[in-house]
Amino acid sequence: MSKVVISCLCSAAKQTVVLSRTNESTSGPWGVDLCHCYDCRHSSGLLCVSYAPIRVPPSLNGLVAYPDESAQPSTTASQRYFCSTCGCHVFRYYSTVGDEEIGKSWEVATGTIIAQVSVVDDDKSVEGDGGEEESLLLRYARHVNTDSTKDGGLSPFIRLAGGTEPSKKRSQVINQSGGGDSKDIILEAHCRCKTVRFYITRPDASSRLPRSPFSDLIVPTATSPREIIDNPRDEKWWLRPQGRDNPDLTRYMAGTCACRSCRLAAGFEVQAWAFVPRSNIFFLPPAASSSSSSSSTHPPPPPPSDISSHALPLDFPTLQQTYSPLRTYESSPGVFREFCPRCGASVFWHDRWRPDVVDVSVGLLAADEGARAERWLDWWRGRVSFQEDAGDGRVGGAARWGRNVVGTLAEGLRGWEEEDGMVGR
């Protein structure tokens, strides 16, 4: 048994929980699955999530429960718990059909684990960070539910130790010219409960108007001079050519982030952001609540004419007065993170210095070609944003695990770039 300290970004969920082995081996890092399913993506806003089994947690104070009604067929009831203040996913609970031995299970979102406080080996207790200097607290055992992503989501970038090479599916449709149907004009996005519904339009003249410093994804904050980060030549780095043969700027930049604040706002190690001008984002009224518990499939988007008659351009004050679909957490002065108050999905990151280019949580996108939405997004493979900070806010085996995950991801991204012959920028 191992006790770990967990926390969300605002610290409301901070507490100590006990990791419990299921039927795995009794030593070494805990194996956890990296789930890429529809429910996990749309309730987190991320492309994949991981949970570790725990004993009943001491406190659910400050957490909101969202029922995961279309969970795995082997379970009857499943609930995800997220922080009502900062949106961080903290726990998942489910009861299993017809197996009294397993019965009710609790899991903790792995990104919330900040420290390992003790190791209990049978009846011996060892204070410290978890034993051997180099041990990892956790390891990814399997990629699960990758089929629903169509393109593998982030799985091709995250190689598992001792695992098989994930298939490097690429969307085959990227270089086809757009056929003029609505799916080429708008990209729908929604959270799991569909309180948050919006769509993105293709880059247009308005997309070039914002000014923005470079993202840490492209110019690392830690090692770059301020005058370069500030983007003095006013490059529109969020707009990307669609493939080498098509120089039109028809896609948006997307990438992964490993900073402490993204991790603790989401509850998981890897956030995935698309950088989209605010002028290309339009909100739709929340879906009627009766439909939120049903399908796991993507409903066909209504035609654009119907959509646009209800759509609101993304202006945060107006949006909150009209549909109020978002809860905002100011994670540091002037920096805002929006999430769904009902299902806890991460939705946006933006700040007051760059109000017109918004980070959009990629897990919400409902692109026909797959979870990575490669007809819309160009993935930055040169690095993981804030990859140097992957162990920040964590100690011991939890910090090593965090650095291990992000190192693996950064390597996977670079490897694919080389194999692909694509230039990163």
Q: Which two tokens stand for residue 152?
A: 């593998």
Binding track over 67-106 against Zn ion, x by CB under 5 A: ----------------x-xx-x------------------
**How many Å separate Cα 111 from the centre of its chain?**
11
Question: 145 or 279: whose CB is closer to Zn ion?
Answer: 145
Question: 2 or 112: whose CB is closer to Zn ion?
Answer: 112
**Smallest separation, CB 39 to Zn ion (Å):** 5
Interface segment toward Zn ion; rule CB under 5 A; list 17-25, 179-187, 191-199, 238-246 = 191-199
Query: Is residue 41 close enough to count as binding Zn ion by CB under 5 A?
Result: no
Q: Residues 6, 12, 52, 115: which binds Zn ion (CB under 5 A)? A: 12
- Structure letter (DSSP) for residue 98: T
Question: 14 or 211: whose CB is closer to Zn ion?
Answer: 14
- Taking alpha carbons only, the member of 273, 280, 268 closest to residue 138 is 268
Q: Residues 342, 381, 383, 403: which binds Zn ion (CB under 5 A)? A: 342
Q: Residues 4, 8, 314, 360: which binds Zn ion (CB under 5 A)? A: 8
Question: 159 or 342: whose CB is closer to Zn ion?
Answer: 342
Question: 75: how many CB neighbours lie within 10 A of its CB?
Answer: 15
**Smallest separation, CB 78 to Zn ion (Å):** 10
**Smallest separation, CB 189 to Zn ion (Å):** 11
**Smallest separation, CB 304 to Zn ion (Å):** 23
- Taking alpha carbons only, the member of 84, 92, 416 closest to residue 256 is 416
Interface segment toward Zn ion; rule CB under 5 A; list 4-12, 89-97, 176-184, 295-303 = 4-12
- Structure letter (DSSP) for residue 147: G
**Smallest separation, CB 119 to Zn ion (Å):** 27
| Integer Cα distance of 264 and 346 in angstroms | 11
Query: Is residue 328 close enough to count as binding Zn ion by CB under 5 A?
Result: no
DSSP, residue by residue, 8-60? -TTSTT-EEEEE---SS-SSSSEEEEEE--HHHHHHHSSS-EEEEEESPPS--
Q: Residues 4, 6, 10, 254: which binds Zn ion (CB under 5 A)? A: 10
Instruction: Compute CA distances 137 → 111, 157, 397, whole Å.
Output: 12, 21, 5
Query: Is residue 377 close enough to count as binding Zn ion by CB under 5 A?
Result: no
Query: Is residue 264 close enough to count as binding Zn ion by CB under 5 A?
Result: no
Give the largest Cα separation in the chain, rounded: 67
Q: Residues 119, 191, 326, 398: which binds Zn ion (CB under 5 A)? A: 191
What does residue 195 show for φ and ψ, rounded to 5 degrees? -70, -40
Question: 64 or 357: whose CB is closer to Zn ion?
Answer: 64
| Integer Cα distance of 154 and 272 in angstroms | 9
DSSP, residue by residue, 224-290? S-HHHHT-TT---TTEEESSTT--SEEEEEEEEE--HHHHHHHSSS-EEEEEEEGGGEEEEPPPPGG
Query: Is residue 34 close enough to count as binding Zn ion by CB under 5 A?
Result: no
What sign results for the dihedral spanned by CA atoms 236, 242, 247, 249? negative
Question: 183 or 342: whose CB is closer to Zn ion?
Answer: 342
Binding site for Zn ion (CB under 5 A): 8, 10, 12, 35, 37, 40, 83, 85-86, 88, 191, 193, 195, 340, 342-343
